[in-house]
Structures are given as C-alpha cells and as structure tokens.
Structure 1
Amino acid sequence: MRVLHVISTLGPGGAGHQLRLLVRRLPHESEVVTLSPPAASTDMLRPEGARVHHLSSRGDHDPAAIGRLRRLMRAGHYDVVHTHLYRASVLGRIAARLAGVPHVVATEHHLGAEAIEGRRISPGVRALYLAGERLGQITIAASPAIAGRLRAWGVPDTRLTTIPKAIDAREYRFDPELRDAARARLDIAPGVPVIGGIGRLEPDKRFDLLIRALTEVPGATLLLVGDGPARAALERLADIEGVAGRVRFAGVVGHVREMLCAMDVFASPGQETFGLATLEAIASGLPALYAACAPLEERAAARAPVRGTQRLSRDRESLPRALRAELLCLAERDGKRLPARSTGFRYDADHLAASVGRLYERMAEGPGRRRIIAPLLAYRGRFGRKNSFPLPGGNVRNA
C-alpha cells in the first residue's frame, strides 16, 4: 500500500513529531508532503526511508497548491492520502478527490475551542473545513476533546474515530551528561533546582501562573521551552514580579529530551491541553504537576495513579504549594531522579501505528470513493438535510 501524508508544517514537535512516530512504524511505503518551506527538522524522517516533498502554499484558499498536490498524487499512484492539520486537510482532501485517490483520511491533532493553528474559528473557517470533510472517508481525532468538538460542528459519528496521541518513551530516557550540557548552556548552576514547562507560549498554556508561583519558591529557576505570541508578555511579567534573573526562555528545540534532563520538576498549569508533554516528562523520570492530562486523569479515575504525579486544583495556592513540596522531596532524594513511568500501551507509539494501520486495512476492504462534485453538492451539514456516506466495512469507531 502506498500512502502519501500531507501536513501543513513539519516542525520539530507537535503534529510533525506524531507523524514521524507513525511513519517509522507503518508497514507501508510512505511519503510526506509539507505545505511549508523546507526545514532541517524534516531530516528526521529520512533515515526511516520516507521521501519528503516540499510544496509551499499561500493560505487555505490556494488553487495553485491544490493543482500541484493533484499532479503529485496522480504521479505517485497512491492508495491512501492521509492529511494532518487544518490547511493540509482543506487542500489535501480536494486534491486527492481530483486526483482520484481511492481512500482519503485526515487526522485532527489540534482543534482548540477558540482557534485552529492560531486562527479564530469563524463561520467561514468551519464551513470550509466541513465542506472538505465530505471529500474524505474518515477523520481521526487525536483526543476525546477534539472528537467532541468535531461532533458539535456536525461531523457524523460514522465518519469519526479517536486514536490518541502517543509517545515513544525511549526517546526521553534520562542522561546525566545531557543534563550537565544543557544546564551549562542555559547558565544554570549544577545544584540549582529547575522547574520546567514545555509548550507553545500562548495565553491558554498559563505559563504566567508558573512565573507568579516562582516568587513563592525561593532559590529555584524556571525553564520554559517553546515560543509563541505570549513570550514578550511573559518576559515583562517576570520583570514585574522580580524573577527575570531566575527564568530561562529556551525557545523552540529540535527534541525536548535534553531540556527534560535539565529539569527537576515538571509543571503544566494550562487547562486546555491533552497532556502529551506531561507524558514525556514522566518518561524522563520527572515528578509532574498538571492541571489537565487526559491519560493521567484516566489512570487516577481507575484508582491506578502514576507515581510522582499530582493534579493541580483551581486554588491559587495549589501550584506554589505543590512546587515547594516537590522540591522538598527532591532534597530528600539527594537530587536523584524518579524511575521512568508511563500510562500504558494506549498512549504508546506502537499502539498509534497499529490503530492507524488497521484503519487503512478496513478502508481497503471496500471500494474507494472517486466522486468529486457530488459530496460537495450533497453537503448541507446542520443547516439542512442529513446526508452521510458510510465507510467501507461499516462504522470504524475507536480503532
């Protein structure tokens, strides 16, 4: 089976890394096309044998990009086109149908309550997405929250499945040499306790709470890994709170392992997150404080909590109090790392690939769809007659 993955941007983390984990494990001939300019991070795919095409687009409404994608798809004779992220899904699904690709699937990695890939969810954005959705066969939601939002938009259950995000825990194993190198580069002395946060620097990640909490945790340094529109505001806040000298902004990194090795406690104070960075932190042997992390919440609900993890309450004092307690525990352990932990196979990269592989096989059991105009004309969504196209082989939920 030949598979073409179309992704809006193939950056070092997020959806780009999820795609790398998937491509490395799928038993199919896979190629990747990115709709952004070439980046050094794409080299991470090449050792696995995946060819990477670069095809820049000017936006979500780019007929020229659709034409280039269509030519690439026709020349490649692909059996499956798998799109990732909003722009790739809009342009890629149209191009795949124009090229006559038998099977089209999309993965929604990030679908915030208010924005997609940094843009507001306006009626036009939603309508464009839903019109394109009719040209595919199924949409994979990367979390239950994303699945719920897609249902609220009007995507039928028969065209929706949930396959959660995943990690390869081996990628985050602790290395004391990496720790020393990272701390030296960040100008952090060996004995200083480091509180860490990872993610895009935007308001809903609530890294401002970490900066305010730092004022109540004497002697500790805060390490924030990532970049985004809130960085300048966070730098100003650190200045105002008098802790600018104890905050390090590492920016975007190719892989977070080294930064995790440099930390002593991980904290994720944002409520709007799946919690993948928290899973990476516990795989590195860090104690983890979190406001939201679906996998850890599942374990806690099943009365099987993961050692060294604590869910933060909405109490303003919860975060600084928990940080102080973890640093006391760190001192009692003489700075030793906790063992690497995980939340089980459901959030492992092998499970991700196996689930997607089974989905491809189920689609291949029946005839592909080559109609192009009819799905667009038939689509009326929530504003008119319900009209859905069943998947080959029936409903494919929770693959």
Structure 2
Amino acid sequence: MKVLHVITGLGIGGAEQQLRLLLRHLPVESRVVTLTNPGPVAAGIEADGTPVTHLGMTGNRDVGALPRLARVVRQGGYDLVHTHLYRACVYGRPAARLAGVRRIIATEHSLGEAQIEGRPLSAGTRALYLASERLGTSTVAVSSSVARRLADWGVPPARIRVVPNGIETARFAFDARARRLVRGVLGVPRDAYVVGGVGRLVPGKRFDRLVRAVAAIPEAWLLLVGEGDRREELLRVARECGAAGRVLLTGACEDPPTVTSLGPSLPELLSAMDVFVSTSPDETFGLAVVEALAAGLPALYVACPAVDDLPPEAAPGARRIGGSVPELISALRGVRDARLARLPVPRAALRYDIARSAGQLMSLYDQAVHGGTPSPVK
C-alpha cells in the first residue's frame, strides 16, 4: 500500500512529531508533503527513511498550491491520501480528488473548544472545513473529546473514527542517571523541587501562571521545555517575581531525537523533574501529560482529554486542577509535601502506546482501500 501524508508544516509541534512517530510504526510505503515550513521534524522524518516534499505554499490563500499538490498525488500513484491539520485537510482532500484518489483519511489534531490550528473558530472556518470533509473517506479524531466536537460541528458521526495519539512508552522510563546528569548540566541542585512543563511558549499555554506559581515557592525550580514567541515575556515575569535564577527555558526538544540533536532528550528532561504541570485550558489530547505519566511523574493538568476520557484508575498519578495562580501554588505545595516517589507506569500510558495507535490506523487504511465494515466510534 502506498500512502501520501499531507501536513501543514513540520516545525516542532505535537501533531508534527506525532506524524513522525506513526511513520516509524506503519507497515506501508509512505511519503510526506509539507505545505510550509520543512523544519526540524522534516529532517527527522527523512532521517528515519521517509521522503519529504516541500510544496512551498506562501499563505492560506495560495490557491496555486492546489494544482501543485494534485500533481504530486497523481505522479505518486498513491492508494490513499492522509491529511493532518486544518490547512492540509482543506487543500489536501480536494487535491486528492483532482488527482483521482478517492480514499482520503484526515486526522483532526487541533480542534479545541475555541480554536483550530491556532485560528479562532468561526462560521467561515467551519463551513470551509465541512465542505472539504465531505470529499474524504473518514475523519480521525485524536480523542473522544475531539470526536464529540467534530460531531457538534456537523461532521456525521458515522464518518468519525477515534485513533488516539501515542508515545513510544518504553523510551520514557525514569532514568536516575539521566536525572543526575541533566540537573548537573542545567545547574539545578540535586535535592531541588523541580516543576516541569512541555509545550509551545504561546499565550494559550498560560505558562506565565506557572512561572508565578513556582516563584511563590522558594525551594521550587521550573524547567520549561519548548520554544515560542512568549519566551522573553516569561523570562521577564520570572525576573519581576524574583525567580529568574530558578526558571529555566531549555528551548524546543525534538522527539524522538536524531543524530544531530543537541542537548538532553525529552525523556531525560522528564527524569530531571519531580512533578509535571499542564496549564493549558484547551487541549485536543494532552500528549505531554501522557509522556509525563510514562516517566513516572505525578501530573497536574487543567485540561487533558487523554486522561479525562479514561476511568480514574487508569492514571492514578494524574489530577485535574484549577488554572489560577493560587490554585497552582496550592497543588504544587501538595505534591511537594507528599514527597511522592517515582510512580509505576499507569495503564493510561500503555493504552496510548504508539504501536497500538498505528495498528488502529492501519485497520482503518485497510478498510478504506480494501473494503469492509468500519469500526464504530469508541
């Protein structure tokens, strides 16, 4: 089976790195087209052995990208086209149809409560999405929460399939040696209480609240993994709160790493933490929380469909909290005072192993290409 994946961009981000992980586990011949930004994840995908083509799209209204993409699809002789993220879905589905490919699957990674792929939800955004959705075979939601949002938007439930995001669970096992080494490299005291967060440094993640909360706990350090346009603002907040020396921003971390990756890996950075916090109020899955749970960390979160869609016993180390600064301070002090040891890997982390997700997706591919009865939404 030949599959073409079309994605909006390949900078470091959750959907982009999720595609890379899936490609490592899907037993099909694949190729990737990125509409824009062939960033570090593109290099990682190619290092793994999958070719990447940059379409060179110049903006949302670059309609010339449509025939260029259709030409790539036609020349490749693909059995199926799989699109990822809003812009790639809107352009990729009609391009596949123009090229004569009728088996089209789209994964919806980014439909939150108030935005989709970083753009506000609007009547026009919804209309364009639904118009292109009708051209596809099925739409994959990365969580049950996203499936419900798609149905509320007007996508027929019979066309929605849930294939959750996944992680290479075993890679995130706690490593005591990595903990010592990373803390040494970063200049963090061995006995410090280290609060961690992972994500893009953008307003929607609300990391400024986490900085203020950590600043209020004198013995706490903050280790933030990610990059974005709010980096300098977060450093300024740390200085204003008198915690500049205890707030560390490591920059983006490509995961899985490649041979050219510099600095500690994400599993190593998680090993250096004592508690993980996700302050974002609007998530489509919450992959970083699942990674933290796989590393044996207690995880505090404001929104995480990946955990909320499961029974409480599947992730006993995870706890939903309020997102205000006082609530964050209280929750962090509670974890500190409990002096929790590293936790066992919960069932949630095993359920969201990438091999399982790839198997579910492969079943959907087979149904689309070879026929058969679709599985119900679950």
TM-score by length of 2: 0.88
Q: Deviations over 1:2-56 (max 9, x none)?
A: 1011111123341112112211221211111112243343233235432222222
Query: 1:315 Cα shift?
Result: 7.4
Letter in 2 for 1:348: D
Structure whose CA Rg is larger: 1
Structure 2 residue matching 1:200: 3-state secondary structure:
coil
Letter in 2 for 1:304: E
Alpha-carbon distance in 1 for matches of 2:309, 2:113: 21
Alpha-carbon distance in 2 for matches of 1:154, 1:394: 22
140-149 or 317-326, larger mean C-alpha shift: 317-326
Q: Is the 8 A contact 1:165 1:352 kept in 2?
A: yes
Q: Which residue in the other structure is 2:343 paired with? A: 338
* Structure 1 runs not aligned, ≥5 long: 367-392
Q: Which residue in the other structure is 1:93 paired with? A: 93
Q: Which residue in the other structure is 1:253 paired with? A: 253
Query: 1:111 Cα shift?
Result: 1.3
Letter in 2 for 1:90: V
Query: 1:217 Cα shift?
Result: 1.7
Letter in 1 for 2:295: S
Q: Which residue in the other structure is 1:272 paired with? A: 282
The question of 1:350 aligning with 2:339 is answered no
Residue 48 to residue 229, structure 1, CA distance change in 2 (3 Å): closer
Match for residue 308 of structure 1 among 314, 317, 335: 317
Query: 1:350 Cα shift?
Result: 1.6
Residue 269 to residue 364, structure 1, CA distance change in 2 (3 Å): same
Alpha-carbon distance in 1 for matches of 2:180, 2:56: 39
Query: 1:204 Cα shift?
Result: 3.2
Residue 160 to residue 199, structure 1, CA distance change in 2 (3 Å): same
Alpha-carbon distance in 2 for matches of 1:235, 1:161: 41
Structure 1 residue matching 2:249: 3-state secondary structure:
strand
Alpha-carbon distance in 2 for matches of 1:124, 1:318: 37
* Structure 2 runs not aligned, ≥5 long: 256-265
Alpha-carbon distance in 1 for matches of 2:183, 2:70: 48
Letter in 1 for 2:376: R
Question: How many aligned positions are there?
Answer: 367
Structure 1 residue matching 2:112: 3-state secondary structure:
coil
Query: 1:110 Cα shift?
Result: 0.9
Give runs of aligned pairs for residues 218-233 of structure 1, distance below 5 A.
218-233=218-233
Q: Which residue in the other structure is 1:378 paired with? A: none
Query: 1:353 Cα shift?
Result: 0.8
Give runs of aligned pairs for residues 67-106 of structure 1, distance below 5 A.
67-106=67-106
Q: Is the 8 A contact 1:169 1:342 kept in 2?
A: no
The question of 1:328 aligning with 2:337 is answered yes
Give runs of aligned pairs for residues 26-175 of structure 1, distance below 5 A.
26-175=26-175
Alpha-carbon distance in 2 for matches of 1:362, 1:199: 35
Alpha-carbon distance in 2 for matches of 1:396, 1:62: 37
Q: Which residue in the other structure is 2:376 paired with? A: 397
192-201 or 233-242, larger mean C-alpha shift: 233-242
Residue 25 to residue 137, structure 1, CA distance change in 2 (3 Å): same
Q: Is the 8 A contact 2:290 2:349 kept in 1?
A: no
Alpha-carbon distance in 2 for matches of 1:295, 1:158: 22
Letter in 2 for 1:321: S
Structure 2 residue matching 1:63: 3-state secondary structure:
coil
Q: Deviations over 1:247-302 (max 9, x none)?
A: 11222111322321221211123332222111101111222222222333344xx3
177-186 or 110-119, larger mean C-alpha shift: 177-186
What percent identity do the matched residue pairs reach? 46
Residue 304 to residue 160, structure 1, CA distance change in 2 (3 Å): same
Structure 1 residue matching 2:140: 3-state secondary structure:
strand
Query: 1:242 Cα shift?
Result: 2.3
Letter in 2 for 1:360: Y
Q: Deviations over 1:205-263 (max 9, x none)?
A: 23233222223322111111122344343333323322222211222111322321221
Residue 192 to residue 314, structure 1, CA distance change in 2 (3 Å): closer
Q: Is the 8 A contact 2:11 2:37 kept in 1?
A: no
Superposed CA RMSD: 2.4
Structure 1 residue matching 2:98: 3-state secondary structure:
helix
Alpha-carbon distance in 1 for matches of 2:41, 2:349: 28
Residue 157 to residue 308, structure 1, CA distance change in 2 (3 Å): closer
Alpha-carbon distance in 1 for matches of 2:205, 2:38: 28
Alpha-carbon distance in 2 for matches of 1:177, 1:36: 39
Q: Is the 8 A contact 1:194 1:265 kept in 2?
A: yes
Q: Is the 8 A contact 1:3 1:78 kept in 2?
A: yes
Give runs of aligned pairs for residues 290-305 of structure 1, distance below 5 A.
290-299=301-310, 302=311, 304-305=313-314
Query: 1:303 Cα shift?
Result: 5.0
Structure 1 residue matching 2:183: 3-state secondary structure:
helix
Structure 2 residue matching 1:45: 3-state secondary structure:
helix
Structure 2 residue matching 1:251: 3-state secondary structure:
coil
Structure 2 residue matching 1:343: 3-state secondary structure:
helix
Alpha-carbon distance in 1 for matches of 2:75, 2:175: 45
Q: Which residue in the other structure is 2:272 paired with? A: 262
Q: Is the 8 A contact 2:36 2:58 kept in 1?
A: no
Query: 1:396 Cα shift?
Result: 4.4
194-203 or 307-316, larger mean C-alpha shift: 307-316
